[in-house]
Amino acid sequence: MANATICDDCQKEIIVSVKDYEYPAHQLKGYVIETYFRCPHCNKKYSVIVTDKRARKMQKEIKQFHLQIMKNDYSGLTEEEYKAKIDAQYEVMDGMKQELKVWTDKLKAQVQEIAQ
């Protein structure tokens, strides 16, 4: 099933089909990839995420951390201890996600500067 949304500009339904664009090294430092989609009706561009080497490493670390949470052995813990441990681990992961968002928002701003 395809993801659909409504365009902010023309108010028509869009079947989301994401594409990647790799920016030339001379435009942005490093290997920067923008994932985006366009409205087929009015051509408005929606930038989903912009990543570079650092952002992709952060994404990988978040995924690995989450997998580790799922693999941990929680046997022998009371329900309260289990909940406290899980909550603490997810709080760490939320911090990692926030750091990633700050970085990718910075990259997205740099890409928008180039586009203007």
Q: b vs e for 70-81, b when ≥16 Cβ sit within 10 Å of the residue's Cβ?
A: eeeeeeeeeeee
pLDDT value at residue 24:
85
pLDDT value at residue 2:
64
Q: How many other CB atoms are there within 10 angstroms of residue 58's CB atom?
A: 19
Band the pLDDT of 68: cuts 50, 70, 90. Answer: very high
Tell me the domain boundaries of the chain. 4-115
Place of tokens 């409504």: 6
pTM across the whole model: 0.82
- The alpha carbons of the chain give a radius of gyration, in whole angstroms, of 19
Q: Read off the pLDDT of each residue in 45-68 and give the average, rounded to a whole number.
A: 96
> At residue 114, does pLDDT exceed 70?
yes
Whether the CB-CB separation of 6 and 39 falls below 8 Å is answered with: no
Reported as a single tens digit per residue, the pLDDT across 3-20 is 899 999 999 999 999 999
Whether the CB-CB separation of 50 and 104 falls below 8 Å is answered with: yes
What is the H or E stretch that residue 15 is in? strand 13-15
Alpha carbon 108 to chain centroid, angstroms = 11
Inter-helix orientation angle 79-115/53-71, to 10° = 170
pLDDT value at residue 64:
98
Whether the CB-CB separation of 49 and 35 falls below 8 Å is answered with: yes
